Amino acid sequence: MNTTLQIFFITCILIFILLILQNLREKKINVKYSLVWLLSAGGLLILALFPPLVEKLGNFVGIAAPASTVFVFAGIFMLITIFTLTVIVSELTNKLISLTQHLAIMEKRIRELENRSAREEDKNQ
C-alpha cells in the first residue's frame, strides 16, 4: 500500500471516529450503539496503520492488492456492524410492539372504568 493511500485511509478513519465521538458527546447516539462503530473503525485503523499486516492478511486470504484487502475487510466490518444494528432494531421493535399492546390494554381498562363511573353517577342522581 502506498503512503498516500495509507494517509488517506487513516485520515478518513480518524474523521469518522471524531464524528462518532461528537455525536456521542451531543447525545445523538447511545453509548451502546457507538461501541459497534468505534470497534469497527478501530479495526480498520489498525489495518491502515500496519501495512505489513494488511499484506499478510491479503496473502492469507488470496487478495493480491493491499488496498483491495483493506476494502474487503472494511466491507466485512460494515456487514458485522449492519448485522449488529439489525439485531438491535429487531429487539427495539419487539419492545415497541409489547409496549403498544400494554398501552392498548391500559386504555381499554381506563375506558371501562370511566364508563362504570359514569353509570354509577347516573344511578346516584
Residues 19-38 pLDDT 10s: 999 999 998 988 887 888 88
Residues 40-82 pLDDT 10s: 888 888 888 888 888 888 899 898 887 788 788 888 888 888 8
Domain parsing of the chain, residue ranges: 3-124
Question: What is the per-residue pLDDT for 23?
Answer: 93
**Given pLDDT bands bounded at 50, 70 and 90, which one contains residue 1?**
low
- Residue 124: pLDDT over 80: no
- What is the C-alpha separation between 47 and 52, in angstroms, rounded? 9
Question: What is the per-residue pLDDT for 52?
Answer: 87
Residues 97-116 pLDDT 10s: 999 999 999 999 999 999 99
HEC secondary structure over 36-98: HHHHHHHHHHHHHHCHHHHHHHHHHHCCCCHHHHHHHHHHHHHHHHHHHHHHHHHHHHHHHHH
Grid coordinates representing 51?
A: 501495512
Task: Find where cell 370511566 sits.
Answer: 114
- What is the C-alpha separation between 18 and 34, in angstroms, rounded? 12
- What is the C-alpha separation between 52 and 76, in angstroms, rounded? 19
